[in-house]
Amino acid sequence: MAETLPSILLVDDEVHSLNAMRMALEDDFECLTALNADEATRLMEENFVQVIFCDQRMPGRSGVEFLKEVRDRWPETVRIIITGYTETSDMIAAINEAGIYQFLTKPWHPDHLVMSAKNAADLFRLNRDHERMSLEMRYLSRNVETKLEEQRKALREGLGFENVLRSPNSPMNAVIAQARQFASFDVPVMIIGAPGTGKTALARAIHYSSLRSDRPFHEINCTGVDDEILEIELFGARRGALHGQQGHKPGLLQKADRGTLFINGIAELSPRMQLALLRVATEGRFRPLGSHEEFRTDVRLLTGSSRDLRAEVAANRYRSDLYYALARATLVVPPLSERRSDIAILAQSLLFDAASAHGKPVHGLSEDAVQFLENHDWPGNLRELENEVMRMLIFSQDSVLGPELISRHILQAAPGREEGVDPSTDRVLTGSGTLKDRVEWIETRILRETLTRLKWNKSRAAAELGLSRVGLRAKIERYGIAEPGKASQPEED
């Protein structure tokens, strides 16, 4: 890559002086010119300027007034003032107010001008190198005890694979076994699974089980995010690149340097962002918004996708080089409908977390409530389960949460239904079978949901359904609906 020339801003209200400075410097520098302070400010906002040569006496704001603003907004830029006057008071004011690096008097010699410019550019570079080295020294100064304490803290908070809850016979066990193997190899991993299946928790567990566990972990979900915002969040923005920005905005690639970055929703990237991320994935290079220089990053990329991208690659709808760079290893996370044995553990954990966060003590879920939760397909996966548990906690009056708190559409699913039976009411309405069988199937669901929600108070259930207690008991016996945990129903409530 060709080395870019340092940028210099030349400010003078005399056109011939401006042209003379540009002709002397343009072989060694990228020269920007302005005839007044306002035009110079606009150029500073739009460009990455290392050195400024500014005339002192100009219409409007003087050179000192302009360079004082530069010192406040762009303190890294080296400031040199050119004047035809040598009043001591002006020089002292300029040094104190604007932080002037050097004075040049008119008329100046071209060789002297070029030497001053090169020295100023070297000073800019040295200052930046010093800043970078200071940051590295502060980072390296952290002692071993601090690192060990961070690892202990991560372990206490359960950020490893112990945080991925599952039962002894869970389908997740095979996924976790693979993930443990991938964690010890510093390669990109693509995690594939429907929204809400826990891809972020799995990515975090991989990081805290890897050799980068004492380095930062950051995450971002790029689904539905505009390219401009996503570019700033990932790559950052240099000072002056954004309106109202006071300083450099670091991106996640800088924040996660030597650590791990999890990018979820990778399938939704636009072609432009795919190309930008390809440079990071293959070369470890990126360029912040508004910057004229490239940065390097040593970051491990973990990515999440809601669908398998191989079909997208085959159809030329996704860059194959990016896919293969990010999918050096792949993990497929099963949906919650395939993890019924995990639902009890997950629901109880989510309940205790929510109860602790909201200060409402509970003892757990009843067996009947767990049975109903296990019979639901959970198309929204863990997010839907978390919402349902929170709803139960909000309406609970007892320390043990029973099935009467569960949403009606979940209660209507038959406990212990056979595998492969479609619970969809729409499918029953439009499917095959006699009218009598289909009506009875729906009626059974309504009866079971009402009785469960009303804690099997048959008097209240009969009143709500517009039935007599005798008629309700007859339907219960006819459809074989049994109260969970009881062999027979009492004659009276």
The reported pTM is 0.58
Cis peptide preceding 107, ω within 30 of 0: yes
Residues carrying CATH 3.40.50.2300, the chain: 7-137
Least trusted range by pLDDT, from 66-70, 104-108, 249-253, 264-268: 104-108
The pLDDT value recorded for residue 294 is: 85
CB 105 within 8 A of CB 134: no
The pLDDT value recorded for residue 418 is: 42
The pLDDT value recorded for residue 89 is: 63
Q: Helices (H) and strands (E) in the chain — how many of each?
A: 21, 14
Instruction: Find all residues with CB under 8 Å of 151, minimum gap 6, and list them.
Output: 213, 214
pLDDT class for 83, splitting at 50, 70, 90?
confident
Q: What superfamily in CATH does domain 7-137 come from?
A: Response regulator (3.40.50.2300)
Mean pLDDT, range 423-437, rounded to an integer:
61
Looking at the predicted structure, is the pLDDT value of residue 425 above 90?
Answer: no
| b/e per residue 280-294 (b: at least 16 CB within 10 A) | bbeeeebbbbbbbee
| b/e per residue 459-487 (b: at least 16 CB within 10 A) | eebbeebebeeeebeebbeeeebebeeee
Residue in 314, 391, 399, 297 with CA at minimum distance from that of residue 347 = 391
Percent of the chain with pLDDT over 90: 38
Looking at the predicted structure, is the pLDDT value of residue 240 above 70?
Answer: no
Instruction: Name which residue leads in pLDDT, 279 or 87.
Output: 279
CB 287 within 8 A of CB 229: no
The pLDDT value recorded for residue 488 is: 44
- On average, the pLDDT of the chain sits at 83
Q: Give the H or E element holding residue 386.
A: helix 381-395
The pLDDT value recorded for residue 443 is: 74
Phi–psi pair at 221, nearest 5 degrees: -110, 115
Looking at the predicted structure, is the pLDDT value of residue 348 above 80?
Answer: yes
The pLDDT value recorded for residue 214 is: 82
The Cα–Cα gap between 55 and 441 comes to 89
Mean pLDDT, range 218-223, rounded to an integer:
93
DSSP 455-483: TT-HHHHHHHHT--HHHHHHHHHHHT---
Residues carrying CATH 1.10.10.60, the chain: 424-493
Percent of the chain with pLDDT over 70: 82
What confidence tens digit (pLDDT) does each residue in 435-459 have?
766 776 677 777 777 767 666 777 7
Count CB-CB contacts under 10 A for residue 118: 15
pLDDT class for 199, splitting at 50, 70, 90?
very high
CB 455 within 8 A of CB 488: no
pLDDT class for 154, splitting at 50, 70, 90?
low
What confidence tens digit (pLDDT) does each residue in 107-121 have?
888 888 899 999 989
The pLDDT value recorded for residue 390 is: 94
The pLDDT value recorded for residue 305 is: 95
The pLDDT value recorded for residue 145 is: 59
What confidence tens digit (pLDDT) does each residue in 300-332 have?
999 999 998 999 999 999 999 999 999 999 999
Residues carrying CATH 1.10.8.60, the chain: 336-423
Instruction: Name which residue leads in pLDDT, 486 or 329.
Output: 329
The pLDDT value recorded for residue 275 is: 93
Look up the CATH number of domain 336-423: 1.10.8.60
CB 381 within 8 A of CB 197: yes
Amino acid 165 reads L
DSSP 99-161: --SEEEESSPPHHHHHHHHHHHHHHHHHHHHHHHHHHHHHHHT--HHHHHHHHHHHHHTT-SG
| b/e per residue 339-375 (b: at least 16 CB within 10 A) | bbebbbebbbebbbebbeeeeeebebbbebbbbbbbb
Look up the CATH number of domain 158-334: 3.40.50.300
The pLDDT value recorded for residue 252 is: 93
CATH topology of domain 424-493: Arc Repressor Mutant, subunit A (1.10.10)
Amino acid 6 reads P
Least trusted range by pLDDT, from 80-89, 273-282, 309-318: 80-89
The sign of the torsion formed by the CA atoms of 344, 346, 349, 354 equals negative
